[in-house]
Structure 1
Amino acid sequence: MNEEINRDFLNAIARIESGNVLNPVLRSKKAEGKLLKLNATNVALEAGHSRTLIGTRNSQYPHIRKRVATQTEADETVSTPNAKRRRESTQQQIARLLAEKTKQDLVNRILFTRLAQAAHQIHLLEKKAKASHEHPQLKR
């Protein structure tokens, strides 16, 4: 294990975590507002070394691979009140959002109907109030 390469990887991890990357590709991603994930590809790019040094099972730098893998797994899980679950796929997100939209559309229709009913009741009450002011003898 080369100590200089090891230090390059550790420094790259620190820069990615802090958001102060030097690599032009990663700087471009950051400038576009994209999240810089701590993964083997980004660490290798930032360190200026081959991804295979940390990205394979028989890595020459297993402690770097383990740190990156641990962070990647943490990024891919989302805490829920009861347990952890994997991030939704794009298709799952679309299906969930469509279901939420359908439910919200139903709620909106119910609220619109209630609003229309309330407006009708107000109209009838205003009409009754106007009639009783014009004809005080007509008390209903």
Structure 2
Amino acid sequence: MPRLKKEAPSQDPIEQDFLDAIDRLRDGEPKNKQLKVRKAKGTLKVNVANVALEAGHSRTLIALETGCRYPRVRELIKQAKTGHSRLPTTLNEVIARLRAENAELRVQLNTHKAAVLAHFNARDKAENEAARERAAASRLRKEIAESVKVVVIASREA
């Protein structure tokens, strides 16, 4: 089976510098002296400032939210921050990811089905109880109507 390409090749040497810097930071092997010190301290992170420092280019090329000159680099940095890896490179990885997602969705579906069933049972029980109460109230009204007898009580003064 053919393998999927990791990503499209870079046409711009500056973008390639940024991509190489991201790879070095992910691997924990920076070339920049300041970043080597941060690595020794254990505070090395993949972020816009560190990638720009490692690449040797201005941070503003990748830091702007809108009008970013290298949006693909910015997206890779965001993915590295959140811990998401790049897109799967083989079909087996795609299949494994889809199977895991499918399993999660099945669990959610079963949870929602259980909640709906509990709601349905509670509503059915309440409707049955309301029908019994209406029937009892009707019976009581009927009994009261039948048992009403007018009794004249004579007063003592008369």
TM-score (norm 2): 0.44
Question: Which structure carries more strand by proportion?
Answer: 1
Highest Rg: 1 or 2?
Answer: 2
TM-score, length basis structure 1 = 0.49
